[in-house]
Amino acid sequence: MKVLKNEEMRKLDEIAINTYKIPGIILMENAGISVVEEIEKSLASKENKKIAVISGLGNNGGDGFVITRHLMNKGIQVITYIVGDTSMIKGDAKINFDILEKMKAFIVKLESSEDIIQFQEDLQQYSILVDALLGTGLQRTVEGIMREVILKMNASKKEIIAVDIPSGINGNDGKVQGVAVEAKKTITFQLPKIGNILFPGSYYGGALLVKNIGIPKEAVSLIQSKIHLITEEVAASVLSKRYGDTHKGSYGRAFIIAGSVGMSGAAILASKTALRCGAGLLRTAVPESLIPILENQLIEGITVPVKEMLDKGIINYLKEENVVAIGPGCGRSQEFEEILHTVITSARLPLVIDADGLNLLANNIHLLKDLKAPCIITPHPGEMSRLTGLSIQEVNDHRLEVAKNFSEKWGVITLLKGARTVITDPQGQIFINRTGNPGMATAGSGDVLTGMITGLLSQGVEPLQAAIVSAYLHGKAGDRAAEELGEYSMLAGDIIDQVPFVIQEIIRA
């Protein structure tokens, strides 16, 4: 699913109106009706059926006027508050405002401090507040009366349903423009906007629902957005059912180089997950002292002493493999640095670099120019900071741009972990993942993700698809674990335990 910037959504509206001759007021009508449908669902469980629609002067406010009209027609008690001078309302919004006046709708104007005092008192009588104030086009800081209205809405602790995007959130980056509405649910139209997806905008928006408002699919296809939301349909297109006449060789050979003294867990977690994600045969290379630990924990995989791999020649050792992953828990020894150098510059099979592999790579980033095969890197913001020389704050503030620029510069697939994992490729495509939760911020979670990518790559999944689907599966398994155990108590191993159930659900869907 495409994710749009503000200007791309405006262009889509223009195409619908000018090329397909769909009047803008029809799109506004459909938008308002889709919100009313969700309001009715929320009202079903409430004794108090009284609604307040808080509208601005632009098209978002126009959506609010449509919502008020349809609620009135359904016999639902509704009051509309309008922030600002109503003489400034124009176009399709003005048509819908005039209809409300002719219907003798209960309209309250909020223009002064005294109005805000009364508004604060009034809010206690409603069960649901509808935020139709500002919409996606906001670029400036919210100030004055509008700021006070938003603060009072949040302070009321009432359920808020936002129209298109919570007012105060920048549609292009999800940032808060001074203050923002804290919604329980957001109904956005036709396609999500970046501000609906990225934090903190996603947090302020609550549950996100994307509603079709009648723009033709052909019109949507004309918007050449390179930003995409990862959906279950994408995962289902990759995770196919297995046929009867297969064997372990049909599902590939995976090789993981991981672990060091005190970090055997990273090797175990990555290896177990690769097997859980379907790798036919797995070999894991670790320091010889860790072999007994892995033999005890990883009975389905094959363990290899790193020394044996070095003695026989790393590339010779990898010639029968389908993928190699390197880095989880490896430490930063000179021996490992030499292994990493050889694998990056000489291996001719898909490569996954994580953790300590990335930390060492940061000291010699130009090695990536010598890659002989597709490469996926999986940094968290700290590792990305070391790879790019940017601060962690800069990485987090510009996640899409940082990952995209790195992929384009170095020719790798970048999976930037964090709240809203981002995957980018050398062609400038961006994929955003919405699954996952704060409980996954625990040691070993990244090793699990590396194992997922490795397991899918071993089966011949294309590298970009492997990164995209693994991000989705990782978060989905984490969400299941959180439902069962709570976010405080989750461990990385709990994510692995949920992987089989998530894969089953996707394949059966």
Instruction: Report pLDDT digits (tens) over 500-509.
Output: 999 999 998 7
Angle CA 256–260–263, to nearest 5 = 95
Instruction: Calculate the CA dihedral of residues 379, 380, 384, 386 and round it to 10 degrees.
Output: -100
Confidence band for 26, pLDDT divided at 50, 70 and 90: very high
91 annotated to bind ligand:
no
pLDDT tens digits for range 113-137 = 999 999 999 999 999 999 999 999 8
188 annotated to bind ligand:
no
Question: What are 152's two structure tokens?
Answer: 């009072």
- CATH superfamily, with its number, for domain 6-223: YjeF N-terminal domain (3.40.50.10260)
Reply yes or no on whether the pLDDT at 309 is more than 80: yes
pLDDT score at 182: 98
178 annotated to bind ligand:
no
85 annotated to bind ligand:
no
**CB-based contacts of 279, cutoff 8 Å, min separation 6:** 251, 252, 253, 254, 454, 455, 458, 459
Selecting from 3.40.630.30, 3.40.1190.20, 1.10.540.10, 3.40.50.1220, what CATH number does the domain 232-508 have?
A: 3.40.1190.20
pLDDT score at 423: 98
345 annotated to bind ligand:
no
pLDDT score at 83: 98
> Do 401 and 424 touch, CB atoms closer than 8 A?
no
Confidence band for 245, pLDDT divided at 50, 70 and 90: confident
Residues of the chain with CATH 3.40.50.10260: 6-223
**CB-based contacts of 21, cutoff 8 Å, min separation 6:** none
**CB-based contacts of 56, cutoff 8 Å, min separation 6:** 64, 82, 83, 84, 132, 133, 134, 135, 146, 167
Q: What are the CA-CA distances from residue 232 to residues 251, 408, 508 (Å)? A: 22, 27, 12
Give the integer Cα–Cα distance in Å for 410 and 388: 11
DSSP secondary structure letters along 291-307: HHHHHHH-TTSEEEEHH
pLDDT tens digits for range 362-380 = 999 999 999 999 999 999 9
63 annotated to bind ligand:
yes
> Do 13 and 27 touch, CB atoms closer than 8 A?
yes
Q: Where are the beta strands (DSSP E) in 339-402?
A: 351-353, 375-377
92 annotated to bind ligand:
no
131 annotated to bind ligand:
yes
418 annotated to bind ligand:
yes
Residue 500: Cβ within 10 Å count:
12
Peptide bond between residue 200 and the one before it cis (omega within 30 degrees of 0): yes
Confidence band for 244, pLDDT divided at 50, 70 and 90: confident
**CB-based contacts of 223, cutoff 8 Å, min separation 6:** 2, 4, 8, 11, 12, 15
Residue 143: Cβ within 10 Å count:
11
Alpha helices by DSSP H, 123-205? 144-155, 194-197, 201-205
167 annotated to bind ligand:
yes
Residue 477: Cβ within 10 Å count:
27
Residue 20: Cβ within 10 Å count:
12
pLDDT tens digits for range 184-196 = 999 999 999 999 9
> Do 352 and 487 touch, CB atoms closer than 8 A?
no
447 annotated to bind ligand:
yes
Residues of the chain with CATH 3.40.1190.20: 232-508
Reply yes or no on whether the pLDDT at 241 is more than 90: no
420 annotated to bind ligand:
yes
421 annotated to bind ligand:
yes
283 annotated to bind ligand:
no
pLDDT score at 454: 98
For the chain, the straight-line distance linking the first and the last C-alpha, in angstroms and rounded, comes to 18
Confidence band for 361, pLDDT divided at 50, 70 and 90: very high
136 annotated to bind ligand:
yes
322 annotated to bind ligand:
no
Task: Please list, residue by residue across 328-365, b when 16 or more beta carbons sit within 10 angstroms of its beta carbon and e when fewer do.
Answer: bbbbeeeebbebbbebbeebebbbbbbbbbbbbbbeeb
301 annotated to bind ligand:
no
pTM of the model: 0.95
